[in-house]
Chain A
């Protein structure tokens, strides 16, 4: 069974972390191979600690040496008129390609998705600030990962984004609370292209409940590694009381479908 993981990261942390970090790409891949996962979407802590532009540029270079089918995820920051494409590497605004240039840059650098970390990069995630990027992603079906594990991104923020861009392909990770159904089920009702990363879907029979109510196409497998153990959601979904077709979709089919639909150039 092919397994792709939408919620992977690696990189050093200079401050103490509660979880055991995965510092290198090689270590990440060793863990993936050990668990039988053949690829996925990868972020790096470098982007959130050292610098957004620095991390975004470094990640594709690192992934070019990957043994597995790993695609990068780039962080977004606000577009500021007059500063787009500025030469400096330390700035927080204008250090991401302009929305109209971003899809081609993503394709060129093997980047398959975008994410925002408003706490680390210190900006507001609201449509009035980030709308140009959300509009482009919505139009091009480029997945945007909205993860409440990051400071500065609340469920209300996510609703604000999705209400303005209701057809946005959103991979949602609700890390701040569980069970998540009272928060995520209304999103399923309203936003047709929103899917849930399984990494934080821990409640007993929760996966089965989502599949029964909304269909397996609303879930994409994510382990949350290295914050979480890679095997937790692997075993949960493998043993869930859902059909084999549903398991295949969650483990790889849905993410493959999302990536295939994205118009990157």
Chain B
């Protein structure tokens, strides 16, 4: 039954499908050298979304995090093929930056991009490095989203650095991917005071107690659902949420209500009504 104290969990178990909408704020796409994914192409991911009730997925393909020429073309094609289901983060490759081109892509394709994705730990460049300044200014001016891979106490993307970004760029919606995984004390208290910071749950369900920790310290109204798709199955994350010690109202905040509020700034976004329809 999944959780005999949760109506949402019981409905999921009965219907074999999540009973409320999902907005996925952290996904990838495309092959990746280290893995053989069964479902990494756009049509496969959209199939997964339909099966799981995911209304919208915001992604940055593995290819775009390696090869901007091919990668951004690939992302644009994927979004234009599934315009109601997919939107992209433009990749920022910190060791091969081209801010003019990236900003032009964002400006010219508002139907495709929601912001930038930073992978500072992988690139080995601090999020606060000057090289990122034009990207951050662009996001701040346009009130766009920043998805950052964040790891607890990382020298490239840790909580103290992200606090500096949150302070300096108050109009960026900062989505802390993985919620500083591995830190269990400082991040949520340090960053909780910045209303532009959100904690995203990719990989968080792998550690029992972590979800409740964030909800307690930062509040479920500051949490967003994400999967790293095709890395993690959507239902694995939803199932973990269903068995975590939360209320159904908190689960709905995380799965779609918070995301729905964030996305209303985009003209293409149609919103989710009270019935859960988009």
User: Taking beta carbons and an 8 Å cutoff, which residues of A are in contact with B?
Assistant: 18-20, 31, 33-36, 178-179, 181-182, 202-209, 225-236, 238-241
Contact of B236 with A236 in the complex, beta carbons under 8 Å: yes
The residue that A206 contacts in the complex, of B17, B38, B207, with Cβ under 8 A, is: B38
Q: How far is the CA of A187 from the CA of B232 in the complex (A)?
A: 22
The residue that A203 contacts in the complex, of B210, B231, B244, with Cβ under 8 A, is: B231
The residue that A35 contacts in the complex, of B3, B52, B229, B234, with Cβ under 8 A, is: B3
Report chain A residues within 8 Å CB of B244: 229, 231
User: Taking beta carbons and an 8 Å cutoff, which residues of B are in contact with A?
Assistant: 1-5, 9, 12-13, 16-17, 35-39, 44-45, 48, 51-52, 182, 184, 205-212, 227, 229-244
Closest 10 CB pairs of A and B: A235-B239, A231-B243, A20-B209, A36-B1, A229-B240, A231-B239, A205-B38, A232-B240, A205-B39, A209-B38
> Given contacts A208-B38, A234-B243, are A36 and B232 in contact (CB under 8 A)?
no
Q: How far is the CA of A205 from the CA of B5 in the complex (A)?
A: 28
| A-B contact sample (20 more), CB < 8 A, given A229-B244, A231-B240 | A19-B210, A178-B231, A202-B232, A204-B38, A204-B48, A204-B231, A204-B232, A205-B48, A229-B208, A231-B242, A233-B236, A235-B2, A235-B13, A236-B235, A238-B13, A238-B239, A239-B12, A239-B51, A239-B235, A240-B235
Report chain B residues within 8 Å CB of A229: 205, 208, 211, 239-240, 243-244
Q: How far is the CA of A34 from the CA of B35 in the complex (A)?
A: 35
In the assembled complex, the CB of B45 is this many whole angstroms from the nearest CB of chain A, namely: 8
Contact of A235 with B12 in the complex, beta carbons under 8 Å: yes
Report chain B residues within 8 Å CB of A203: 35, 37-38, 230-233
Residue of A nearest to B39 (CB): A205
Contact of B238 with A235 in the complex, beta carbons under 8 Å: yes
Q: How far is the CA of A29 from the CA of B46 in the complex (A)?
A: 38
> Given contacts A209-B38, A229-B243, A235-B238, are A202 and B231 in contact (CB under 8 A)?
yes
In the assembled complex, the CB of B217 is this many whole angstroms from the nearest CB of chain A, namely: 14
Contact of B2 with A36 in the complex, beta carbons under 8 Å: yes
Contact of A228 with B240 in the complex, beta carbons under 8 Å: yes
Contact of B182 with A181 in the complex, beta carbons under 8 Å: no
User: 18 A–B contact pairs at CB < 8 A?
Assistant: A20-B212, A36-B1, A179-B35, A181-B38, A182-B35, A203-B230, A204-B233, A205-B230, A225-B208, A228-B240, A231-B243, A231-B244, A232-B236, A234-B243, A235-B239, A238-B235, A239-B51, A240-B235
Contact of A232 with B205 in the complex, beta carbons under 8 Å: yes
In the assembled complex, the CB of A185 is this many whole angstroms from the nearest CB of chain B, namely: 9
Report chain B residues within 8 Å CB of A209: 38
Contact of B229 with A204 in the complex, beta carbons under 8 Å: yes
Contact of B37 with A179 in the complex, beta carbons under 8 Å: yes
Report chain A residues within 8 Å CB of B212: 20
In the assembled complex, the CB of A79 is this many whole angstroms from the nearest CB of chain B, namely: 35
Contact of B2 with A238 in the complex, beta carbons under 8 Å: yes
Report chain B residues within 8 Å CB of A205: 38-39, 44, 48, 230, 233
Q: How far is the CA of A241 from the CA of B45 in the complex (A)?
A: 14
The residue that A232 contacts in the complex, of B36, B39, B48, B243, with Cβ under 8 A, is: B243
The residue that A228 contacts in the complex, of B16, B17, B35, B208, with Cβ under 8 A, is: B208
Q: How far is the CA of A189 from the CA of B211 in the complex (A)?
A: 38
Report chain B residues within 8 Å CB of A239: 12, 16-17, 51-52, 235
Report chain B residues within 8 Å CB of A241: 51
Report chain A residues within 8 Å CB of B233: 202-207, 236
Report chain A residues within 8 Å CB of B38: 181, 203-206, 208-209
Report chain A residues within 8 Å CB of B236: 202, 232-233, 235-236
Most B C-beta atoms less than 10 A away, residue of A20, A231, A235, A236:
A235
Q: How far is the CA of A204 from the CA of B231 in the complex (A)?
A: 6
In the assembled complex, the CB of B260 is this many whole angstroms from the nearest CB of chain A, namely: 22
Report chain A residues within 8 Å CB of B52: 239
Report chain B residues within 8 Å CB of A35: 1-4, 243
Most A C-beta atoms less than 10 A away, residue of B37, B44, B227:
B37
In the assembled complex, the CB of B258 is this many whole angstroms from the nearest CB of chain A, namely: 20
Report chain B residues within 8 Å CB of A31: 243
Residue of A nearest to B238 (CB): A235
Q: How far is the CA of A182 from the CA of B39 in the complex (A)?
A: 15
Report chain B residues within 8 Å CB of A230: 243
Contact of B44 with A231 in the complex, beta carbons under 8 Å: no
Q: How far is the CA of A179 from the CA of B34 in the complex (A)?
A: 9
Report chain B residues within 8 Å CB of A208: 38
Residue of B nearest to A181 (CB): B36
Contact of A19 with B209 in the complex, beta carbons under 8 Å: yes
